[in-house]
Chain A
Amino acid sequence: MTLSVRFSIDRNAFRLAVDLALPTTGITAIFGPSGSGKTTLLRAIAGLERIPDASIRFDDAIWQDSTQFVPVHERRIGYVFQEPSLFAHLSVAQNIAYGLQRTSTAERRIALEQAIDLLGIHHLLPRFSATLSGGEQQRVAIARTLAASPRLLLMDEPLSSLDQKRKLEILPYLESLHRELALPVLYVSHATDEVARLADSLVILRNGEILGHGPIQQMLTRLDLPLSHRSDAETLLNATVSTAKSQFGMMQVSTEGHDFWVTAENLAPGTDVRLRISALDVSLTLVHQGGTSIQNIFPVTVSELIAETEAQVMVKILLGDSPLLARVTRKSVEELGITPGKNLFAQIKGVAVLA
């Protein structure tokens, strides 16, 4: 499945030029600072914004080209807005039923009950939106969208209007949504933590221009893209829980043929997890060090490096085929003779597990 989008607009001080062909599997995050054109891109795909001379196709359906424009209500997209936007005159149950009633039986793939269960809102059904918290409202809004069985789900910073606590309350639902429904999602965000937890691939947008798009691991570690140079630059690794039970409150997960010791709750063996490793938590040594408190030490190969400041260098290393980032000093680079192709050991001090 592919979503291809091509258009450009020039409005006063705002410019946005897009030429994208995205494989629509899993969650694709559209990532960029505020004002970079993320929402406009999403609205154009939805058909909420009618941009002249745009070309938008999803699978074999043409949504917009020079001769036609399929209106929003015929695109069968789901759209979750920043604010929950529930219909104030309808109860939660009626809100959720609204889209479902407008979906023909043949196109229903997500059952009403499933949408309600996924978002855990059974107890809210008879209530009206004014009595719900922001987090509850957004969960209802997501369930309402799902119940219409969209072919493509567009989410415009669905968590940004919520405080941290509510955010953490909704994130697990978004993750399960991803796992349980084979539904392509475009997720607009400027929050790295949401993107790291949810996204499979990334579109990086800045000042109305697409800097790059591809699998999230690649996008995070491409040294020619800004993400690898943020102060909180990080890498993600996909891993599988390998030990049956934990020791010392830690457990082993494996990736690229290596076992990582991680601090995590008991997870069943075989569970897929995502490891999040900050570039600051990776140090490089020429030999495998013994007698260190660091548990995770692996052989790696230097792929490329780039000086970020006079003192700092970002080094991209490969653990098997998986890229990792290590932020080290230029002094170390000189002294260790770090150059592309060199084999080293990476000491990984901190690993966060995103289950």
Chain B
Amino acid sequence: MDFSADITAFFLTLKLALIATLILLLIGTPIAWWLAHTRWRYRFVVEAMIALPLVLPPTVLGFYLLLLLGASGPLAMLGGGTLAFTFTGLVIGSVIYSMPFVIQPLQDAFQAAGNRPLEVAATLGASPLDRFLTVALPLARPGFITAAVLGFAHTIGEFGVVLMIGGNIPGRTQVLSIAIYDHVESLDYASAHLLSGALVILSFVLLVTVYASNRRFRVLKL
């Protein structure tokens, strides 16, 4: 048997999940921060928009993304070229698809920490950026760990969106979940077992690491 396609799919998936998670943490942190602190009365509209991927079938999301990113989509018209069936397209799709899984834990963590520690820091002479970096971020650390893990794991597991906008191009857009689907379709259960098993072990190791480190954090606090 030739595993090279599977190995490629494995690393492509990891790369996709890593990049998507990093982007999500970068753009999710300010959004979560804003949601946690704004007193804007229509905040819930933004919250609902971010939560949409939780309830929409991934194929719906993928369909619209395909229209948006495709050769005749608005992006291409503006000279952006087509992003459908590219790795970049996958990253964009993953970011949108996994967004609630990153933003919600961050927002919860910022809200749980509350305003008081920030006020204390301000009275002790810390500027807004200083307070954010030295108080808000460390206090939200468990939220960041949860957000990163959920975002990463959720991206690894995505299927519908990828299929719609990425297709199934080995080496470029073929991720693990699709490779497994392919193997099952062609009745190659041995390969499907191998990939599925690897995914189960990877996910388990990931979660164990996170729970262990989160517990250590709590122990440290006591």
Contacts and interface: CB of A to CB of B under 8 A. Distances in A.
A131 B222 contact: yes
A76 interface: yes
Q: How large is the interface on B (under 10, 10 to 19, 20 to 34, 35 or more residues)?
A: 20 to 34
A128 B221 CA distance: 6
A72 B130 contact: no
A300 B4 CA distance: 105
Interface string A86-113: 0111000000001100110000000000
Q: Chain B binding site: helix, strand, loop or mixed by DSSP?
A: helix
A73 B126 contact: yes
Interface residues of A, number: 26
B122 interface: yes
A330 to B, nearest CB: 51
Contacts of B27: none
Given A85-B116, A87-B135, A89-B138, A145 B221 contact: no
B79 interface: no
B124 interface: yes
B154 interface: no
A182 to B, nearest CB: 20
B141 interface: yes
A87 B117 contact: yes
B123 A46 contact: yes
A61 to B, nearest CB: 15
Contacts of B135: 87
Nearest to A47: B122
Given A73-B126, A87-B135, 7 more contacts: A48-B119, A71-B122, A72-B122, A74-B125, A81-B120, A85-B117, A102-B130
17 contacts: A72-B122, A73-B123, A73-B125, A73-B131, A74-B125, A81-B119, A83-B116, A85-B116, A85-B117, A88-B117, A98-B126, A103-B125, A128-B220, A128-B222, A130-B221, A145-B123, A148-B124
